[in-house]
């Protein structure tokens, strides 16, 4: 692992364990240089990463300060699937059914979007989230088969992310999300209890591994009235 990542990990671990408590000031860059036997640029790169990930805040001329932990954890929620976050927010349970589970070759639009070879083998999964007796969310997942081998319908019914991280031991790095309203499609009408709604809120999700390779593309399609998203942003 790169040196600046090692420094990042060690400092992050100290913050999580409480050895570096919230509100406290980190040692200066010069001190960290000596402590880790690294150049200042390398130390700075680790600190930049910590700030980007919400662990610390740098103040020109003052120092680097540890942020409160609750905000960090909130950030962690961000990468988990929306339906799960949504469920925990409402304190109710959502029932998931796997509506479709296929192995396909990547269609051209997806291959281009994910920067894959045409014809790459993929899993395509449709899952419906039922809340209070109504189907309100449709998740369509595409996974690269090579990167996420051994996916089954049983896993899909449980938690795919848990499988990826704990069973396969893959490290998820980041996800790009986009939220927008779209016209209802024929598939939406089949899978969801739409009533008279003509639009759905669509969350597209491109998820990347630590090495920067994209292993997933997902569309999460929500009925308008059952959609809610919240987060905390920092300067």
Partner DNA sequence: CTGTATTTGTACGTATGTATG
Partner DNA sequence: ACATACATACGTACAAATACA
Q: Which residues bind a copy of itself (CB under 8 A)?
A: 52-54, 71, 75-79, 171-181, 199, 201, 224-225, 227-235
Q: Which does 228 bind (CB under 5 to 8 A by kind): DNA, a copy of itself, none?
A: a copy of itself
In the complex, minimum distance from the CB of residue 125 to DNA, in angstroms, rounded to a whole number: 27
Distance CA 127, CA 142 (A): 12
In the complex, minimum distance from the CB of residue 55 to DNA, in angstroms, rounded to a whole number: 14
Q: Counting contacts by CB under 7 A, is residue 235 touching DNA?
A: no
Of the two residues 12 and 136, which places its CB atom closer to DNA in the complex? Answer: 12
Per-residue binding string, DNA, 35-54, x by CB under 7 A, is: --xxxxxx-xx-x-------
Q: Which does 235 bind (CB under 5 to 8 A by kind): DNA, a copy of itself, none?
A: a copy of itself
Q: Counting contacts by CB under 7 A, is residue 14 touching DNA?
A: no
* Residue among 59, 54, 64, 1 at smallest CA distance from 31: 64
Distance CA 3, CA 43 (A): 9
For the beta carbon of residue 117, count every other beta carbon within 10 angstroms: 7
Is residue 211 within 8 A of residue 172, CB to CB? The reply is no
Structure tokens at 29: 């860059």
């Amino acid at each position: 692992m790169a040196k600046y990542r090692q420094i990042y990990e060690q400092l992050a671990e100290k913050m999580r364990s409480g050895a570096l408590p919230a509100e406290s000031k980190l040692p200066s860059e010069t001190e960290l240089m000596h402590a880790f036997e690294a150049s200042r640029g390398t130390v700075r790169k680790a600190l930049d990463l910590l700030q980007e990930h919400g662990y610390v805040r740098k103040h020109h001329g003052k120092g680097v300060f540890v942020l409160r932990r609750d905000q960090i954890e909130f950030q962690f929620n961000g990468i988990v699937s929306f339906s799960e976050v949504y469920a925990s927010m409402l304190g109710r349970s959502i029932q998931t059914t796997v509506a479709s589970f296929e192995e396909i070759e990547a269609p051209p639009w997806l291959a281009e979007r994910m920067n894959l070879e045409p014809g790459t083998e993929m899993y395509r999964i449709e899952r419906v989230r039922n809340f209070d007796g109504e189907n309100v969310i449709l998740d369509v997942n595409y996974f690269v088969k090579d990167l996420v081998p051994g996916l089954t319908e049983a896993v899909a019914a449980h938690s795919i992310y848990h499988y990826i991280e704990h069973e396969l031991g893959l490290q998820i790095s980041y996800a790009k999300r986009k939220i927008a309203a779209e016209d209802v499609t024929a598939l939406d009408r089949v899978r969801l209890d739409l009533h008279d709604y003509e639009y759905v809120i669509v969350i597209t999700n491109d998820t990347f591994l630590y090495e920067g390779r994209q292993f997933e593309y997902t569309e999460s399609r929500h009925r308008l009235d059952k959609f809610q998203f919240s987060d905390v942003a920092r300067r």
